[in-house]
Amino acid sequence: MSDFMQALVIGGSIFVAMLFTGLGRRALTVRSVVRPLVIVGIFAVIYLKDAPTATGGEWGLYAVGVALGLVFGGIAALLTKVERDADTGAVVTVAGAGFAVTWFVALASRLVFVWAVTDVPAFRDQVGIFMMGHQIEQSAIAPFFVIWALTMVVARVAAIQTRARRLPAAAAAPLVAA
């Protein structure tokens, strides 16, 4: 499988999963919190178990992945409302187009990078020079993308959970005369 196809499969799968689990009005339940973590966790287990770290340069790359994940996850969280349902008192999240666009930009960024490294010789040369100069192995790129996505999901989940805990308690339902 080509590097571009691998990035498309990994990134596209995570993108679709995050839209299916987060877009729209959703009850905030243990399942809705755990499901996206499990999805990216599966990719993490597959792609991070053999992530190169021997040269030391990869740690800087992975730190950039964490930073990008925090930024994009923060944006996704900011674009997700957390509120109580007026009828049930249950905590719900509401995510719309901004949420989807944030995930799409993250995916598109990854794909454009891989495409440029593959098909734009001048860009490939500059990336190669950078990676050699910082002692980063080529096999660190896929783990970098997975770390970015994993951090993005964890950051959003943490922010949503924090905001949910800060919501006022649900009002007691009024008594109805029988």
Let me know if residue 176 belongs to a domain.
no
- Enter the pTM of the model: 0.87
Which residues constitute the domain of residue 100?
A: 3-165
Let me know if residue 88 belongs to a domain.
yes
**DSSP designation for 140:** G
Q: Rounded distance, CA 155 to CA 177, Å?
A: 46
Q: Rounded distance, CA 13 to CA 52, Å?
A: 23
**How far does Cα 111 stand from its chain's mean position?**
15
Let me know if residue 23 belongs to a domain.
yes
- pLDDT tens by residue, the chain, 178 residues: 777 888 888 888 888 888 988 899 999 999 988 998 998 888 889 888 888 888 778 999 999 999 999 999 999 999 999 999 988 889 999 999 999 999 999 999 999 999 999 999 999 999 999 999 999 998 898 889 889 999 999 999 999 999 999 988 876 555 445 4
Beta bridge partners of 3: none
| Contact between residue 107 and residue 12 where contact means Cβ atoms under 8 Å apart | yes
Q: Rounded distance, CA 153 to CA 159, Å?
A: 10
Total number of domains in the chain: 1
Let me know if residue 171 belongs to a domain.
no
Per-residue pLDDT reduced to its tens digit, 118-165: 999 999 999 999 999 999 998 898 889 889 999 999 999 999 999 999
Q: Rounded distance, CA 53 to CA 71, Å?
A: 24
| Contact between residue 110 and residue 11 where contact means Cβ atoms under 8 Å apart | yes
